[in-house]
A and B are shown apart, each in its own frame.
Chain A
Amino acid sequence: MGLKHLVRVLCSLRLTVVCLALGMILVFVGTLAQVEIGIYAAQAKYFRSFFVYWTPPGTTLNLPIMPGGYLIGGVLLVNLVAAHAKRFGLARNKTGLLLVHAGLILLLVGQLATDLLQVESAMRISEGEARQYSEDQRFSELAIIDTTAADRDQVVAIPESLLARKQDIRHPNLPFAVRVHQYWVNSTNVPHGGAAGAVRATEGLGKRVQFAEAAPTARMDMRNMPTAYVEFLPASGSLGTWLVSDWIDTPQTFTHDKRTYQVALRLARYYKPFSLQLLKFSHDKYMGTEIPKNFSSRVRLQHPETREDREVLIYMNNPLRYGGETFYQAGYDEKDPRVTILQVVRNPGWLTPYFSCSLVGAGLLIQFLTHLVGFVKRRTE
């Protein structure tokens, strides 16, 4: 009885309507929330969550007040699949409906894929320079770089989310454990000695420079500058406590067991098997204003493995699609007119909306034609 009831609910059209209505409310509320908390935090709170939580003022309670995007989308998907499996089966006269629904399922799954797999980063290249990696715009990593080898560096990149747990981090490629004493999502500089009671670095720049915790920013034109205090612990002893921060541009160097390492907390990097060299960057503004009219970057793409070596012009609405990534002309450095900023998007699911729209379109056409043909046949009989 219980299972039958559940199946009936899961297959019901009512559930679809409720989910769509909740989805509309969620989009409305989530859009408004972007004003206060910024787009990324709003996305995480309303859309990339199973529940939207609310903390009543003056308490530490975390109450779920409405379903989040994952839950609504998930239930909608189950509803669609269940209804289909139960009601329509694979009858030939339902081909149109089948295609429409397959298109919708693909759309839902494709968007989830985009949400989970899409990586956005940026490449800043100065004229004449070649670059082989892009940088994440929001997430940092603690890079421990073994620079001993003469030709290449080996990088062990620990994501910020692991630093935030403030636990010892061990990895087979590291001959020491990394103990996280302190981690701040955002930080600000303070005069030396200003951060009383804070963890102190015993090695490196941190002996002279200090930072203090700052409130995370929600603004789109600013980013968080994380800072952490980490200690490197080999099997015996300690290599000291180091201050690592996004504020510090130069990696700090230390040696252990005859190997040289560099450590830096920096924007997460994504290396590519090819390089882009900026040959010429042009940006025109409307005369007498600061309003951009046109940007373009002439780049040289070199891929040693495929022996490709060609020039590409990237400009607004004309990105370079290469190696599973799309390079858009995103901006320029206001302080240096020779620096272009390309947005790099890796989205394995980028084709799914096209496929799903085609499926839905084809399904609707078939459904319509089936009805039309049936109707005309009946008229002529």
Chain B
Amino acid sequence: MPAGPRPPGAAGARFALPWVRGCAGVLVTLVLAGCERESIRVYQAPKETAPQRQAMSTPFESRVPQIHWKLPAGWQELPAGQMRVGQFAVSGQGEQKAEVTIIPLPGLAGGDLDNVNRWRAQVGLPPVKAEELPKLVEDVQVGGQAGSQLYDFVGTPYDRSETNRLLVAVFRAEGTAWFFKMLGDSALVAAQKPAFVEFLKNVTFEQGAPHPPIAAAAPPDAPSPPGGGDGGSGKPTWTVPAGWQEQAPGPMQTAKFSAPDPAGGKAEITVVVLPGDAGGTLANVNRWRGQIGLAPVGEAELNQLLTPFEVAGAQAVHLDMTAEGAKRRLVAAVVSRGGNTWFYKLVGDEAVVGKQKEAFLQFVRNIKYGS
């Protein structure tokens, strides 16, 4: 610090210029060196192997067998990506197209009923009950082993006029569930079914090889209807109630808000849109009940929980559940619109959810959906 006595004879502005120049030089060098982060870098890198790539970036890595296949005639192999370890395009007469995907997921990857109803929704079919499941399953060989399930659904998806057909084979081994799917124009998929079954039979698994990368981006079965199109799932416009703070949404979430209470405690609001009925209201309600520590309910009790309410141009219900012991409360609204289901959920401390309930329902009622 420039403290201390003033020496005699130093009153004039005698400036030691070399000092100043020196300091300025150091500063300019530092700033220029710091700017390097902003420039394009060119470097040589060793060739990257697949295991290296995956270990670095994916939080969902796990070791599962690697798969090999024999490409059927007429199938075109596409680069693997997202969660898919194999991907193929199949073209038929005229504009007919189908897509084959192979997705491995760790664990059991959901119950059969939820999966089946999600697949049915993709081809516009209504959900089925658990007791109907066995009637839908065909037996198929995967990798030379019998006993895997094959499902075959035909229907018209909500956003298309043509009939689509979906074949799904599920093979579970070594803690991994493998999903083989063929989705496309009905006639083409019907013609390709023998090739698909033959393909399944001929796949081979290699033990202990690392799993290719799985991105956190898409839900395992994010529907990708050929031809795309907005199925009414575009982000709607809404007015965020006072006191809600927008948060970065998690995977699969369209939006997320937090509603902290000045008196302590907090609640969270999430918006999720899923195609079809997303496994049915009962399955979802029971999942939410589990989240706040309540026991599941049956179909009859479910109807007592649901209250229909007014939303412009759509069917909507809401429900309100409280876990007395844990003092947790959950208010949810389910809006079915344009082939999609919108799930709005307010969950948190009992008192805070109580205070926010009206604002939440008002928020849901006033949402304007795109075309």
Residues of chain A having any CB pair with chain B under 8 Å: 3-4, 7, 11-13, 16, 77-89, 91, 94, 97, 101, 104-105, 109, 112-113, 115-117, 119, 124-126, 129, 131-133, 135, 139, 141, 145, 147, 151-159, 161-162, 169, 171, 173, 186, 188-196, 205, 208-209, 211-212, 214-217, 219, 222, 245, 247-253, 266-267, 269, 271, 333, 335-336, 339
Q: Quick one: which of B38, B235, B252 has the most chain A CB within 10 A?
A: B235
Q: In angstroms, how far is the closest chain B Cβ from the Cβ of A340?
A: 11
Given the known A-B contacts A80-B1, A125-B55, A250-B79, are A91 and B228 also in contact in the complex, defined by CB atoms under 8 Å?
A: no
Does B59 make an interface contact (CB < 8 A)?
Answer: yes
Q: Nearest chain-A residue to B41 (Cβ)?
A: A157
Query: Do B217 and A193 touch (CB < 8 A)?
Result: no
Bound-state Cα–Cα, A214 to B118, Å: 27
When the two chains form their complex, are residues B40 and A248 in contact, meaning their CB atoms are under 8 A apart? no
B230 touches A194 (CB 8 A): yes
Interface residues on B, range: 35 or more
**Residue pair B7, A89 in contact (C-beta under 8 Å):** yes
Beta-carbon contacts under 8 Å, B201-254 to A: 212-218, 222-225, 228-231, 233-235, 246-249, 251-254
Contact between B45 and A196, CB atoms less than 8 A apart = no
Name A81's contact: one of B20, B234, B273 (CB within 8 Å): B20
> Can you name 20 A-B pairs with beta carbons within 8 Å?
A104-B1, A125-B55, A126-B61, A129-B55, A153-B48, A171-B40, A171-B42, A191-B275, A192-B223, A193-B159, A208-B224, A209-B82, A209-B217, A209-B224, A215-B248, A222-B248, A249-B57, A250-B212, A333-B59, A336-B61
- Secondary structure of the B side of the interface? loop
Of the candidates A16, A89, A115, A152, the one whose C-beta lies within 8 Å of that of B1 is A16
Partner of B235, one of A151, A154, A190, A215: A190
Interface string of B7-33 (1 = CB under 8 A from A): 100100111100110010011001101
- Knowing A3-B13, A162-B40, A214-B248, the reply to whether A193 touches B45 (Cβ < 8 A) is no
User: Whole-angstrom distance from the CB of B9 to the nearest CB of chain A?
Assistant: 9
Given A86-B15, A247-B216, output 20 extra A-B contacts at Cβ < 8 Å: A81-B23, A83-B2, A85-B15, A85-B16, A86-B13, A89-B10, A132-B46, A152-B47, A153-B45, A155-B41, A186-B248, A188-B254, A189-B252, A193-B229, A196-B370, A208-B224, A209-B82, A250-B80, A250-B212, A335-B61
Contact B58 A4 (CB under 8 A): no
CA distance A7 to B2 in the complex (A): 13
- A155 and B43: CB pair below 8 A? yes
Q: How far is the CA of A271 from the CA of B42 in the complex (A)?
A: 11
Contacts of A247 in B (CB 8 A): 215-217
Q: Which of A97, A211, A339 touches B4 (beta carbons < 8 Å)?
A: A97
Total of A-B residue pairs, C-beta within 8 Å:
231
CA distance A116 to B31 in the complex (A): 7
CA distance A139 to B223 in the complex (A): 31
Q: How far is the CB of B14 from chain A (nearest CB, A)?
A: 7
Q: How far is the CA of A186 from the CA of B214 in the complex (A)?
A: 19
Contact check: which of B15, B40, B224, B254 meets A82 at CB < 8 Å? Answer: B15
Given A154-B44, A191-B222, A88 and B34 touching (CB < 8 A)?
A: no
Cα(A112)–Cα(B41), bound, Å = 23
Q: If A156-B42, A250-B81, A333-B59 touch, does A7 touch B15 (CB 8 Å cutoff)?
A: yes
Q: Secondary structure at chain A's binding surface: helix, strand, loop or mixed?
A: mixed
Whole-angstrom CA separation of A84 from B20 in the bound complex: 11
Of the residues A162, A186, A188, contact of B253 by C-beta under 8 Å:
A188
Q: Which residues of A contact B229 (CB under 8 A)?
A: 193
C-alpha spacing A85/B26, complex, angstroms: 17
CB of B191 closer than 8 Å to a CB of A: no
Known contacts A154-B44, A159-B37, A192-B225; A89/B273 CB under 8 A: no
Whether B39 pairs with A159 at a CB distance below 8 angstroms is yes
Say whether, besides A191-B222, A248-B215, A249-B215, A124 and B30 are in contact (CB < 8 Å).
no
**Given the complex of chains A and B, what is the CA–CA distance between A12 and B247 in angstroms?**
48
A125 to B39, CA, bound (A): 28
Cβ contacts under 8 Å, B7 to chain A: 87-89, 91
Residues of chain B in range 310-346 having any CB-CB distance to chain A below 8 Å:
340
What is the minimal beta-carbon distance from A275 to any residue of chain B, in angstroms?
9
Contacts known (A159-B37, A194-B235, A271-B43); A124 close to B218, Cβ less than 8 A: no
Q: Which residues of A contact B212 (CB under 8 A)?
A: 250
Which B residue's beta carbon lies closest to that of A8?
B13
Contacting pair B42 A155 (CB below 8 A):
yes
Q: Which chain B residues lie closer than 8 Å to A266 at the CB level?
A: 57
| A212 / chain B contacts, CB cutoff of 8 Å | 235
- When the two chains form the complex, which single residue of A139, A152, A190, A216 contacts B45, counting CB atoms closer than 8 Å? A152
Which residues of A have CB within 8 Å of B363? none
Residues of B within 8 A of A209 (CB): 82, 217-218, 224
